[in-house]
Amino acid sequence: MSARFLVMACMLLPLTAVADDISKGEEIFNNKCSQCHTFSMAQAMLEPVAEKDRPAYLRTFLETHPPKLNASEKEVVIKALSQRSD
């Protein structure tokens, strides 16, 4: 393998991880949250919030929400809602 290939592969791995996190976050959301919310409804709630502030906003929101998600699930869902846009 060439050094250039390895560098390119290392640069793309974080993008794959982000895509996987977003997919996993959507899956968790659909399994545990969609009885009351749609993914697009949750994202619409975030529209007025600056993108950089969305994770903190969601953490605060989820603190007062019924406990359906464990801590690691919350972080993956927060990442998916904060980074995905339709």
The residue to which tokens 């809602």 are assigned = 81
Q: Is 41 exposed, middle or buried (0-12, 13-18, 19+ CB in 10 A)?
A: exposed
| The model's pTM | 0.69
Amino acid at 43: Q
Range of the domain at 22: 3-83
32-76 residue pLDDT tens? 988 888 988 888 889 999 989 999 999 998 888 878 889 899 999
pLDDT of residue 3: 62
Give the count of domains, the chain: 1
12-41 residue pLDDT tens? 444 444 457 788 989 998 999 888 889 888
Q: Are 80 and 24 in contact (CB under 8 A)?
A: yes
Contacts of 5 (CB under 8 A, 6+ apart): none
